[in-house]
């Protein structure tokens, strides 16, 4: 797989990374350890060198999986993890105080079986802690050799600018896909200006863009899509238009809808590296195939014109979580 530079930071990653969250958190019961490790290792064998995890994905359980799977090739991979929640649980509120950041860093180093973190993200902006203090703490960790690069997740324009002035932000991780294009308004121009890489999570629209989901799909009771307005039965039916579009393009390109969605993202900017995740070997191989698909300028113009004419229904997050989106 080809590599990409995340902005001007000097951080080189495989053009498609692997999002590990779903192996432990968010989309139903955790995958058993043996199968989870096998998927991570297969991703590496197929050329993936960029792996994404976080403390909050099972209170360290996901990081431990990654440590077990990749410790023997540690010098050949880029590992990103995150801090920012109290007690390592997203239900306990935010906490990016300096002492908490340091505590998470030490835990992550232990769980990941490593002595450095390649990319350390603030998971969500904490309104109670000046972002300059957050950036300064990570700057200190970088000086100590425990962290290589600083990242932010779901941060807004003001927070990114303020943090970047203290410690350069190597990458922003936020949701971006055909199913959620809001970053095109302000975020992508800012990242271009400041030389910051972009790591889109949920590049397949939390599974919606694969074409494998419809209004009748039933989610596991622990799957958080149950509470996301955009994934209500009515909105899944209303948003079928975009699935039809992606499926049509996939048929024309002799590809799958997931591959089209990933190829479209990769074509947006050369410093974008999406992190699709999966628990299945077949889906992993399918996703990686998206990196081999090149859409022409005419293809992209046709797709974007069609996307501009689609109005998607439903908010991205329920109101209780909306406040976690950065300013």
Statement: residue 18 has pLDDT above 80 = yes
User: What is the share, in percent, of the chain residues with pLDDT greater than 90?
Assistant: 79
Question: Which pLDDT band holds residue 321 (cuts at 50, 70, 90)?
Answer: low
Averaged pLDDT of the chain:
93
5-14, 59-68, 101-110, 239-248 — which is least confidently predicted? 239-248
Statement: residue 320 has pLDDT above 60 = no
User: What is the share, in percent, of the chain residues with pLDDT greater than 70?
Assistant: 97
Identify the active-site residue in 57, 111, 121, 176. Answer: 57
| pLDDT score of 235 | 81
Statement: residue 62 has pLDDT above 90 = yes
31-40, 190-199, 312-321 — which is least confidently predicted? 312-321
Whether residue 27 lies in the annotated active site = no
| pLDDT score of 147 | 98
Statement: residue 224 has pLDDT above 90 = no
39-68: average pLDDT: 97
Statement: residue 324 has pLDDT above 80 = no
| pLDDT score of 105 | 98
Range 238-265 burial, b when 16+ CB lie within 10 A, else e: ebbebbebbbebbeebebbbbbbbbbbb
Statement: residue 228 has pLDDT above 60 = yes
- Residue 122 contacts residue 151 (beta carbons within 8 Å): yes
| pLDDT score of 317 | 72
Summarize pLDDT for 76-91 with one digit per residue, the tens.
999 999 999 999 898 8
| pLDDT score of 207 | 86
Statement: residue 34 has pLDDT above 80 = yes
122-145: average pLDDT: 98
């Amino acid at each position: 797989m080809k590599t990409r530079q995340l902005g001007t930071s000097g951080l080189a990653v495989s053009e498609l990374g692997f999002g590990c969250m779903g192996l432990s958190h968010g989309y139903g019961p955790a995958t058993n350890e043996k199968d989870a490790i096998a998927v991570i290792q297969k991703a590496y064998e197929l050329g993936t060198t960029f792996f994404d995890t976080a403390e909050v994905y099972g209170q360290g359980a996901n990081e431990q999986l990654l440590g077990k799977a990749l410790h023997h090739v540690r010098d050949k991979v880029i590992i990103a993890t995150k801090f920012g929640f109290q007690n390592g649980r997203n239900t306990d509120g935010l906490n990016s105080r300096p002492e908490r950041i340091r505590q998470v860093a030490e835990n992550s180093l232990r769980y990941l079986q490593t002595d450095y973190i390649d990319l350390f993200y603030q998971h969500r902006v904490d309104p109670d802690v000046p972002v300059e203090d957050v950036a300064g703490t990570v700057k200190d960790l970088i000086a100590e050799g425990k962290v290589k690069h600083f990242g932010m997740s779901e941060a807004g324009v003001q927070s990114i600018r303020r943090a970047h002035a203290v410690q350069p932000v190597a990458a922003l991780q936020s949701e971006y896909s055909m199913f959620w294009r809001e970053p095109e308004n302000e975020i992508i121009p800012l990242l271009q200006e400041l030389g910051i890489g972009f790591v889109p999570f949920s590049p397949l629209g939390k599974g919606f863009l694969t074409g494998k989901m419809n209004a009748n799909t039933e989610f596991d009771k622990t799957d958080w899509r149950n509470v996301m307005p955009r994934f209500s039965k009515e909105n899944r039916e209303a948003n079928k238009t975009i699935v039809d579009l992606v499926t049509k393009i996939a048929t024309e390109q002799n590809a799958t809808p997931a591959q089209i969605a990933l190829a479209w993202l990769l074509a947006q900017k050369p410093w974008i590296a999406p992190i699709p995740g999966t628990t299945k070997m077949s889906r992993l191989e399918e996703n990686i195939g998206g990196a081999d698909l090149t859409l022409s300028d005419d293809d992209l113009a046709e797709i974007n014109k069609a996307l501009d004419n689609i109005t998607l229904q439903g908010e991205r997050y329920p109101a209780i979580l909306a406040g976690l989106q950065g300013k």
